[in-house]
Amino acid sequence: MKALDIFFRPETVAIVGASKTVGKVGNVILSNLLESNFRGRVYPVNPHVDSIYGRKVFASVKDVPEQVELAVLATRAEVVPQVMQDCAEKGVKGVIIVSGGFAEVGDEGMARQKQVKEIAEQAGMRVVGPNCIGVYDSESEMDTMFMPRYRMSRPRRGRIAFITQSGAFGIAVLDWAASRGFGVSKFISLGNRVDVDELDCLEYLADDEQSRVIALYLESTVDGRRLIDTAKKVVKNKPIVALKAGVTARGAQAVLSHTGSLAGSDGIYDAAFEQSGIIRTYGPQDLFDVARAMANQPLPKGDRVAIVTNGGGFGVIATDAVDGYGLKMADFSEETTRYLREHLPPIVSTRNPVDLVGDADAERYRLAIDALLEDPSVDEIVVIILFQTPNLQPDIVGVLAAATDKRQKPILVCTTGGDFAELHTRMLERAGVQVYPSPRRVVRVMATLLEYRKYREKLEAPTKAL
């Protein structure tokens, strides 16, 4: 078992601070685990309660009748050091402290956090937190988030691992991802990082078979040089997509009051990301725009983009974006051009962008996309769909899902509009098709896929002897 496995797939979990009161943190965490498909054994711990949900409650973690692998602490900050000592005596391997009231609140909290750290180090316990949400694993359904499931949906299984220094940011993004049908493999909220930090998580996730890409919300790092060295190793096999907050002087000051850490110069992070191959993004949507494409799309072999649309104006906007992001519009082969002319109506423009015009149906899209998949002069395909036109039916979902499943080239879709377009967007996304609401966002992601491929090739290139 790898060091951090204990947080994601423990066999025994003690919820210290479990409560009968609906809405209290200790009650929500316990009920979430009991209602999920988590297969581990769960033990409530609270010296003032005899039973919760028909389960015996133990006065101390030391009273649990078997070895406790993981303890989740949902108690007042003042009693956390004593609970930590109990965990040490019990031989607990991992602790998640969701309680706040530590380094983020000043000197008294800082002293309390130092005490927690010393106890953990002496006992050899790994600790996530304090002041965090904890973890979520979509496969094991280990879930320490203290948000009721009726208020916050949990994402389905997916290939994006998500590390965040802000629990609030993390749960909002997870809830949004779940509502869109986006999948997540693992989630970890670090909080004040008394022990486990973003670097430990990057090293752990580098070998995680569930995770194809790592999304990172970062306010500060514990060790800039180690971040660079660790990221360089990770990105050889899987991309890291980061959102760095605390960019301005006021933002950096807010970081200090949020998690009790120093944010550092934004320029330094920019240089570190570039040096280590971390892909930087600038907002939650941007973070997941890139991450979900990285998780589900093949990397392009080059910079030549083909555009297929049923709306000429959107094709023009996409063409401008291709030029703006340093990509190239593909020149189709003679075979492709001939095929498109023979199989599509005369009113269709067979040049790039391919304008299928307003009466296009799913079959017209299929013919065009299949031809472009086979054309060696095309590296990436942008498909623009206006669902407001009359001939498009739900069978377009199957056409795009089948093309995406071939994984020959990256295929990203753009569609926008009202309720009808949104309904079909959800259908596409649930079928595994990556959909974006504007041509510029699609092309931006295409450019990022190529950027990552070039960085990988640079790492793999043999070093010339001096």
Q: Which residue has the higher pLDDT, 269 or 82?
A: 82
**What are the distances in angstroms from CA 241 to CA 99, 179, 212, 281, 343?**
28, 21, 11, 7, 41
Query: How would you class 153 by CB atoms within 10 Å of its CB: exposed for 0-12, middle for 13-18, buried for 19 or more?
Result: middle
Instruction: Read off the pLDDT of each residue in 46-51 and give the average, rounded to a whole number.
Output: 96
pLDDT in tens, 63-96: 999 999 999 999 999 999 999 999 999 999 999 9
Distance CA 242, CA 323 (A): 25
pLDDT in tens, 171-223: 999 999 999 889 999 999 999 999 999 999 999 999 999 999 999 999 999 88
Which tokens belong to 198? 């973003």
pLDDT in tens, 273-331: 999 999 999 999 999 999 999 999 999 999 999 999 999 999 999 999 999 999 999 99
Q: Which residue has the higher pLDDT, 100 or 255?
A: 100
Q: What is the pLDDT of residue 267?
A: 84
- Using the predicted structure, report yes or no on whether residue 252 has a pLDDT greater than 60: no
The residues with which 43 forms a beta bridge, in sequence order, are 14
- Using the predicted structure, report yes or no on whether residue 465 has a pLDDT greater than 80: no
Distance CA 173, CA 284 (A): 7
DSSP state of 154: P
- Using the predicted structure, report yes or no on whether residue 258 has a pLDDT greater than 60: no
- The number of C-alpha atoms within 13 Å of 5 and in the hemisphere containing its C-beta is 8
- Using the predicted structure, report yes or no on whether residue 466 has a pLDDT greater than 50: no
Distance CA 227, CA 376 (A): 38
The residues with which 16 forms a beta bridge, in sequence order, are 45, 73
Under the banding of pLDDT at 50, 70 and 90, the label for residue 255 is very low
* pTM for the model: 0.92
